[in-house]
Amino acid sequence: ATPTALMVGTGRGAQLGILIKGPEVLESTRRVDTVVLDKTGTVTTGRMTLRDVIVAPRPEATGTPEEAAQRLLRLAGALEHASEHPIAQAIATGAAERAGALPVPTAFENVAGLGVRGEVEGHQVLVGRTRLLTEAGVELPEALSRDLATAQAEGRTAVAVAWDGTARGVLTVADAVKDTSEQAVRELRALGLTPVLLTGDNQAVAASVARAVGIDEVIAEVMPEDKVEVVRRLQAEGRTVAMVGDGVNDAAALATADLGLAMGTGTDAAIEASDLTLVRGDLRAAADAIRLSRKTLSTIK
C-alpha cells in the first residue's frame, strides 16, 4: 500500500466526517464481514425519557396513589441524579418534573450493567434490573413482574425500584431509534456485511429495536465486561469483526474488534479505544468508512 494513496483516503475520510487514527487502519477495514452494533446511543439516540410510573400495590400503604407515585419518583430520581447513565438521566429529569426538587443521596454506588444503589432520606434504595434486586434478596411481586414484562415487550426499558428490602415499583423509559439507523443497516448489508445488535438491555427491547432497523442477529442482556467476550467468540467463529459503540462499557470490545468505530457523540473512553470516529454520530458513516477503505485499497493495488 503506498503511503500517498492511504493519505488521500484519510483526507477523504475527514470530509465524510470520519476521523481515522492512522492510515494503516484502512487495511483492516477491508476484511471485515461482521458489524457488531451497540444499541443505546449507537443505533438509538440514547436520549431517553421517563414514561410509566408503576407503584406496587401495597394494602397497608397510606395516602393516595398519586402520593405514592411522587414518593417513588423522589427516592429513585434522587439516586439516579448521581448517575451519568442515559436511563438514570431520564429518570432524574422526569422525576424532578413530576415530583419537584429531589433530595441529595447520602450514599451512592453505580453497579455497572445492573443499576444503582444508595441511601436517600435514610432509606436503602435500589434502582435497576430485576437481577440487581434479586442479588440483594429482594423479590419482585408478581403484579410488578407482569407490568415490567409488558413494558419491555412493547419496547420500553423497565427498571425496578426497591427500598428497605421491599420492591416498590417499576419505572419505564424509552428512547428513539435514530432516523438514519435503518438506512445505515441497509447500506452495511449492501456491502456484504452481517449486522449484529449487542446490548446490555433486555431481549424484548433489543428485539424491537432490531426489527425496526432490519437486524436479524441479536445478542442481549450482556454484562459490560462480557461484550468483549462476544467479539472474541465471533472472531473464534472465523468472522472478522467491526464493532460500533459509544459507551465506556463498549471500550474493551472496541479495542478487541478487528476494527473499532466510535460514535463522536459518545464517551472519550470509546473514542480512545477505537480506530475510527464517526464524528456526527451518524451510523451511515460506518458504511462510508468501509466503502472508502475498499476504494482506497483497490486504487493502490
* Residues of this chain that bind ligand ADP (CB under 6 A): 38-40, 80, 83, 85, 87-88, 113-116, 127-129, 157, 159, 199-201, 224, 247, 249
- Told to check if 41 binds Mg ion by CB under 5 A, we report yes
220 φψ region: left (φ > 0), alpha (ψ -120 to 50), beta (else): beta
Nearer to ligand ADP, 23 or 41 (CB): 41
The whole-angstrom separation of Cα 270 and Cα 266 is 7
Half-sphere exposure of residue 239: CA atoms within 13 angstroms, side-chain side: 21
Q: Cell numbers 438514519 correspond to what residue?
A: 180
Query: Stretches 65-73, 134-142, 240-248, 277-285: which one binds Mg ion (CB under 5 A)?
Result: 240-248
Decide: is 40 part of the binding site for Mg ion (CB under 5 A): yes
Whether 38 sits among the annotated catalytic residues: the reply is yes
- As measured in angstroms, the least distance from the Cβ of 293 to Mg ion is 24
Window contacting Mg ion (CB under 5 A); options: 41-49, 63-71, 146-154, 291-299: 41-49
Q: Which residue is nearest to ligand ADP (CB)?
A: 200
Q: Which is nearer to ligand ADP, 112 or 143 (CB)?
A: 112
**DSSP string for 216-250:** -EEE-S--GGGHHHHHHHHHHTT--EEEEE-SGGG
Residues touching Mg ion, count (CB under 5 A): 5
Q: Which residues pair with 253 in a beta bridge?
A: none
Give dist(CA 186, CA 206) in Å, integer: 18
- As measured in angstroms, the least distance from the Cβ of 41 to ligand ADP is 7
Question: Would you state the cell numbers that stand for residue 38, as one nine-digit string?
Answer: 451497540
Q: Closest approach of Cβ 31 to ligand ADP, in Å? A: 26
Interior angle at CA 40, CA 34 and CA 41, nearest 5: 95
- Looking at 105, 118, 195, 247, which residue binds Mg ion (CB under 5 A)? 247
Task: Pick the piece of the chain touching Mg ion (CB under 5 A) from 53-61, 146-154, 180-188, 238-246.
Answer: 238-246
Q: Could you tell me the smallest distance in angstroms from the CB atom of residue 2 to Mg ion?
A: 37
Q: CB nearer to ligand ADP: give 17 or 224.
A: 224
Please, which residue, 23 or 86, has the CB nearer to ligand ADP? 86
Catalytic pick among 38, 147, 250, 288: 38
Question: In whole angstroms, how close is the CB of 250 to Mg ion at the nearest point?
Answer: 6
Show the cell assigned to 107.
450514599
175 binds Mg ion (CB under 5 A): no
**CA 188 – CA 259 distance, rounded (Å):** 14
Distance CA 25, CA 108 (A): 41
Identify whether the C-beta of residue 41 lies closer than 8 Å to the C-beta of residue 209: no
Asked whether 244 and 263 are in contact (CB, 8 A), the reply is: yes
In the complex, the residues that contact Mg ion under the rule CB under 5 A are 38, 40-41, 246-247
Q: Which residues are catalytic?
A: 38
